[in-house]
Structure 1
Amino acid sequence: MKEWLIAFDIDDTLITDEGKTSTRLNKLLLELQENNTLLFSSGRPYESIKSIVETIGLDFEKVYICAFNGSLLMKGNDEIYSHSIDGDDINKIACFYRDNHLYVQSYDDGLILFEEPNEYTELEKEITQQDTKRVEDIPSYKTTVPKMMGVGHETKVKKAFEIIPADLRSTFHFTITKPFFLETMAKGISKGEAIEYFIKNELVGYERTMAFGDSYNDIEMLQQVKYSVSVDNAVDKVKEVAEHTTKSNNDDGVYCYLNHFIRGMS
């Protein structure tokens, strides 16, 4: 059993607004990997998270990746579990997004699928460094997807989230990541499920779990760990859930908290 499980959200938490990590944080993560389990958890696709882990310089085969907000859990290149949205359910979600004036988006083999050109899909491409593919109708093109996304202006995203019909809310899990991304996974799927996996399989004890986050899709993960930490730039709801707050992502908040925590333990 590894000593600690430390889970990191990526965007706006682990990395700066410029998509970077500091040299001192990289060095600390390399040291921590020797005796601890590191979990990188994001709404991003697996390939995008993998590229960040490799940039840090970690031993990839020992790293756990929770992608698509919990729909996929990998250890290195090996899949542990995956969940999907299938068939008619893809169409139900797509129709809800379209009815609320959001652009429909999903993923296929490392590609971002979209139906209509829009600035928000271009932003997702810039963030994840994944190529895009335009298709006429995602529900007709794909019978299985890891998650669906409705992207658009943040006022439209917020309004759509507030009026999700009861039948959809009871069947799927909805969350907002960035203000302009409304994301949908299979029911019960979140970043928190990965934490449950480690505890249930006795890979780590609850008393030695820690997680860092900033946005709504991090809430379940933060609720599942002993030490929950929000960065200073987190949304208010996340700060309410987290027991601790550190500096912002642009001020190396993750490093500051971990460094202080380790010194306190020694």
Structure 2
Amino acid sequence: MYQIVASDLDGTLLTSEHQITTYTKQILTQLHQQGKSFIFATGRHHVDVAAMREQVGIPAFMITSNGARVHDSENTLIFQQNIAADTIQSIMKILAADKTLQANLYRNDDWLVSREDFYDTSNEAHFSYKVFDINNPPVDGVAKIFIKHEQKNHDKLALLETQLNAKFSDKVHITFSSPNCLEIMDKGVSKGHALQAIAKMKGYELKDCIAFGDGMNDFEMLSMAGKGLIMETAHHKVKEALPNLEVIGRCDDEAVANYLAKHLLVQK
């Protein structure tokens, strides 16, 4: 029986409106009450995820920035791995030359953007961005860079992925969290390796973990866990990369909670 449950957020645990449903909260609470450990495993920033964890109301570890940050249930930072300063400067020079791109940095407790016009500021939530100068970027404490295209052009971002890998594959890990979001972390960073470290801390192994996800940034976690499950709405590249994994339902149908209720909760 699996002792640790790790789940991606967007497109997986959250609805398409980026909400955690009441039913999902109930299932996660019951899992906690039955001695299971839950881990939020996401590309999101730790400040953002901490607010969601508070909504759920259970002690849970957080894997954030795709594994570049890990916080325990008391919100203590127990692991961090940043991108090297010279690598950040080199990547920003490439991105600055293309005015159709927006660079984002997750730096310490901040979210920084190179162009403000990508986002609607009229509905800011608890975690909002600040603008930085892409020609003079901060280079310390950067957990993750992510890149968006103004026309949501996946093919353009896929080409950029190839170009960046050709130059920096020995220094960074590049992946997609969604078709319209290209993400860059330090070499060796992934949700899967973070999950392995947490399992070891808790006295378990990866075989004791079950994981849910829908993006290429979930690849390592889904493939390394004892059981990985892919969302029905996952990008076709995820399903093609992990053809032997089970595909479950949609996030709007609370597929993760339904699976956990059926297969992991002890019925009383």
Normalised-by-shorter TM-score class: 0.7 to 0.9
Mapping of residues 56-205 of structure 1, within 5 Å: 56-58=56-58, 62-76=59-73, 77-99=75-97, 101-119=100-118, 122=119, 129-137=126-134, 139-152=136-149, 153=152, 154-201=154-201, 203-205=203-205
The letter of the residue matching 1:194 is: A
Residues 156 and 56 (structure 1), Cα distance of their counterparts in 2 relative to 1, 3 Å cut: same
- 2:261 corresponds to 1:262: no
Local SS of the residue matching 1:85: coil
- CA, structure 1 residues 211+70, in 2 after alignment: closer, same or farther (shift >3 Å)? same
Question: CA offset at residue 129 of structure 1?
Answer: 4.7
Structure 1 distance, partners of 2:139, 2:265, is 50
Taking a change above 3 Å as real, the CA distance of residues 155 and 126 of structure 1, as seen in their structure-2 partners, is farther
C-alpha displacement at 1:3, in angstroms?
Answer: 6.1
Relative to the length of structure 1, the TM-score reads 0.88
Distance 1:84 1:167 in 2: 18
How many residues are matched? 260
SS of 2:92's equivalent? helix
- Name the CA shift for 1:125/1:114 in 2 (closer, same or farther; >3 Å): farther
Structure number having the greater helix percentage: 1
Instruction: Provide the C-alpha distance between the structure 2 equivalents of 1:143 and 1:207, rounded to a whole number of angstroms.
Output: 36
Q: Could you state the TM-score of these two structures normalised by the residue count of structure 2?
A: 0.87
Where 1:147 maps in the other structure, the secondary structure is strand
User: 1:67/1:250 Cα in 2 relative to 1: closer, same or farther (>3 Å)?
Assistant: same
For the Cα contact (< 8 Å) 1:72–1:82, is it kept in 2?
A: yes
Identity of aligned residues (%): 24
Asked whether the 8 Å contact 1:41–1:65 carries over to 2, the reply is yes
CA deviations over 1:22-46 (Å, ceiling 9, x no partner): 2222111001113011110111100
CA distance in 1, matches of 2:220, 2:122: 26
| Helix, strand or coil at the partner of 1:188 | coil
Q: Provide the aligned C-alpha RMSD in A.
A: 2.6
CA contact (8 A) 2:145 2:184 kept: yes
Residue pair 1:114, 1:138 contacting (<8 A) in 2 also: no
Q: How does 1:205-216 map to 2 (within 5 A)?
A: 205-216=205-216
Secondary structure of the 1:184 match is: strand
